A and B are shown apart, each in its own frame.
Chain A
Amino acid sequence: MQGAVPPTTPAQEIREFGLAALESSLFHLSLGTIQRPLLCTSASKLLSPSDTTTPSSLVQKSTLHTSAGNQSWERPRGPRKWLVNNQTKFEPTPFGEQERPAYVCHVKENIKYSPDKMWYVACLVRGMKIDDAIHQLQFVHKKGAVAVREALEEAQELAVRNHNVEFKSNLWVSESFVGKGLVIKGFRRHARRRFGQVKYKHCHYFVTLEEGEPPEHYYPNSRKLTPQEMLEEWLESKRQRTIPMSL
């Protein structure tokens, strides 16, 4: 990977070197399989074929029941509880009561984007209808917007396929938030023997789509007041005045 890098200025070279190494490590991490040799060099001498074993060229190798790559079990990383919300089962609605709206929870893991920057995109989409959200995200000039759009489209498909949602446009974004994902730390050199830490941040994007019409105000406490309400507030503030040192 380093050999393929074209000649550049020393600073760029260093950065690219770091990134390339990290990218390759990222690649391995995302795959979940690290190609390790099954035997160490010293052990291979002991188990070299002797006179009694058949030569490897004559042995018929079958591709069944052979597993390459990482032999050890790796602990699953990333969000584990979010998708469990998709498996809750509710009792049939009793006669006369209003039907419960359908919802689907979806997550897009380890998006290569900073969670702080992704927060802005998540906030934009909150409380919007699914079609409006997808159209708006097309014109947001942020890298995270692409991932959020994909997540919304996937969630919409899942809702129709698995969660008995009849109309794919009859959904709205009820929950949209970001979580911290993988952080890979690297180093970069500064002038005068100083070192800086470089963080390659990832984020998880969580979304819940609910069936039905979205509420008028997603944050009712911080909504824009109507003229009537504004007048009442003004009147209240004037009524609460006291004249100090009066009779």
Chain B
Amino acid sequence: MRQTCSVFQPPPARPNRWRHRRMKEKGVQPVRPWMEKPVFISATSGTFEAYVPPEGDGKVSATLAAGAKQKFEFLEKKGKSMMAIRKIRQFDEDFDPKVFAEEAQQIYVDMHKALADFDKVKLHQMVTERAFPMVTNQVRNKTLRWQFVSSLEPPRVVHARCTDVISKENIFAQVTVRFHTKQTLAVYDRFGRLQHGSEVVAKDVLEYVVFEKHVANTYGVWRIHDKIIPDWMPPRQPSYKTYKAEEQTPEETEVAVVEEKEQKVAETAVA
């Protein structure tokens, strides 16, 4: 309904419904409807400049303990991690790596508890969007029973980096924390049979967990983003049941064949 009281609008010379015809005669394109969906980037897609854990970390030895302390001081005084921590302090003045490490451990414990209960709401608060499918991948139809027994070493911040996404001011901070803890994990399959681990036997777990926060956002929260699994880490405890070893995939065989061919060519060239 048109305004009638305050403003006087003279009636149009031609009705409004023939506006499209007039525009077409003049060759004017019709007004394009505004169809845009805002996209909010809440987490980065990976870990930037991942931390490379030193080999032999986690094996108890007096000399290594001293070495580890030196490395810890190194982090504090210089290097890219130090610059990243200073960048974080620009946004978050009270950021202290020692305090943060304890908070990080609490997030780690809460995340595992939420995963065992499969509380999706809480899990999204503990874990970034990128890590959520990785964390809940094989948990869907299973029952997890996880217990945090104790912390063998105090949690430690080992690495920190800051990145900007799209614009220079939109900064994400990624901090790697090292946890050496004692945990129990029992995985029951869909039918309630024990599939992996044990509720009673505790295991020593050494993990390097990457936490991320959208520092440019006032409501940004520290959440688990990724886990760094070094090559020298021993394999996990195998499951109880037997299984058939997977046959070598065609990709691997092709690569092997190509490598063999290259070796043969090299040998003939040398000969």
Does B78 lie at the interface of the complex (its beta carbon under 8 Å from any beta carbon of A)?
no
Q: For A166, what are the chain B residues with a Cβ–Cβ distance below 8 Å?
A: 241-243
Residue of A nearest to B195 (CB): A164
Q: Does B192 contact A (CB under 8 A)?
A: yes
B143 touches A89 (CB 8 A): yes
List the B side residues contacting A91 at CB < 8 Å. 143, 192
Q: Which residues of A contact B132 (CB under 8 A)?
A: none
A100 in contact (CB, < 8 A): yes
Whether B195 and A92, one on each chain, are in contact in the complex, defined by CB atoms closer than 8 angstroms, is no
Interface assignment of A88: CB less than 8 Å from any CB of chain B: yes
Instruction: Assess the A164–B27 pair: CB atoms within 8 A.
Output: no
**Pair A89/B194 contact, Cβ less than 8 Å:** no
Q: Mark A88-116, 1 if CB is under 8 A from B, else 0.
A: 11111100000111110000000000000
Is B17 interfacial (CB 8 A cutoff)? no
Q: Report if B253 contacts A (CB, 8 A).
A: no
- Give every chain A residue within 8 A of B191 (Cβ-Cβ): 90, 99-103, 164
Tell me whether B27 and A51 are in contact (CB under 8 A).
Answer: yes
A90 to B243, CA, bound (A): 23
Verify if A163 is at the interface (C-beta below 8 Å from B).
yes
Q: Closest CB-CB distance, B83 to chain A, in whole Å?
A: 39
In the bound complex, residues from chain A placing their C-beta under 8 Å from that of B29 are 52
* Size of B's binding interface in residues, CB under 8 A: 17
Residue of chain A at shortest CB distance from B191: A100
**Residue of A whose beta carbon sits closest to that of B196:** A164
A60 lies within 8 A of chain B by Cβ: no
List A162-178 residues whose CB lies under 8 Å from chain B.
Answer: 163-164, 166-167
B27 and A88 within 8 A (CB) = no
Q: Does residue A237 face the partner (Cβ distance < 8 Å to B)?
A: no
Q: How far is the CA of A52 from the CA of B24 in the complex (A)?
A: 11
Q: Which residues of B contact A101 (CB under 8 A)?
A: 191
Within 8 Å of chain B (Cβ to Cβ): is A240?
no
With a CB–CB cut-off of 8 A, which chain A residues contact B192?
A: 90-93, 99-100
A63 at interface, CB cutoff 8 A: no
CB neighbours of B190 from chain A (8 A): 88-90, 102, 163-164
Contacts of A52 in B (CB 8 A): 27, 29
Chain A residues, Cβ within 8 Å of B2:
none
Residues of B within 8 A of A51 (CB): 27
**Interfacial chain B residues near A12, Cβ < 8 Å:** none
Closest to B194 in A: A92
Alpha-carbon distance between A178 and B141 when the two chains are bound, in angstroms = 28
Query: Are A99 and B141 interface neighbours, CB within 8 A?
Result: no
Q: Which of B127-141 contact A (CB under 8 A)?
A: 141
CB contact list, A144-184 vs B, under 8 A: 163-164, 166-167
- The answer to whether A50 has its CB under 8 Å from any CB of chain B is yes
Bits for B136-156, please: 1 = Cβ < 8 Å to A, else 0: 000001110100000000000
A44 within 8 A of B: no
Tell me if A50 and B27 are in contact (CB < 8 A): yes
The interface residues of chain B lying within 8 Å CB-to-CB of A54 are none
Given that A91-B143, A92-B188, A166-B241 are contacting pairs, would A100 and B27 also be in contact in the complex, using a CB cutoff of 8 Å? no
The answer to whether the Cβ of B102 comes within 8 Å of any Cβ in the partner chain is no
Does residue A42 face the partner (Cβ distance < 8 Å to B)? no
A167 proximity list for chain B (CB < 8 A): 242
- The interface residues of chain A lying within 8 Å CB-to-CB of B241 are 164, 166
Interface string of B162-200 (1 = CB under 8 A from A): 000000000000000000000000001111111100000
Contact B193 A93 (CB under 8 A): yes
> Which residues of B, 208-263, contact A by the 8 Å Cβ criterion?
241-243
Interface core residue of B27, B192, B194, B242 (most chain A CB under 10 Å): B192
Tell me, rounded to whole Å, the shortest Cβ–Cβ distance linking B80 to chain A: 37
Complex contacts, B141 vs chain A, CB 8 Å: 87, 89
Cα distance A80–B107 in the bound complex, in angstroms: 40
Partner of A100 from B142, B193, B242 at Cβ < 8 Å: B193
Q: Which residue of A lies closest to B143 (CB)?
A: A92
Tell me the complex Cα distance, A164–B190, Å. 8
| Residue of A87, A88, A90 with most chain B CB atoms under a 10 A cut-off | A90
Q: Which residues of B contact A102 (CB under 8 A)?
A: 189-191, 193
- Identify 4 new A-B residue pairs, CB closer than 8 A, beyond the known A99-B191, A99-B193, A102-B193: A88-B190, A89-B143, A92-B143, A167-B242
* 12 contacts across the A-B interface (CB closer than 8 A): A88-B190, A91-B143, A91-B192, A92-B143, A92-B188, A92-B192, A99-B191, A99-B192, A100-B191, A102-B189, A102-B190, A102-B193
- Residues of B that sit less than 8 Å from A by CB: 27, 29, 141-143, 145, 188-195, 241-243
Q: Ordered nearest first, which 9 A-B pairs have the shortest CB separation?
A: A164-B189, A166-B241, A92-B188, A92-B192, A90-B192, A100-B191, A93-B192, A99-B193, A102-B191
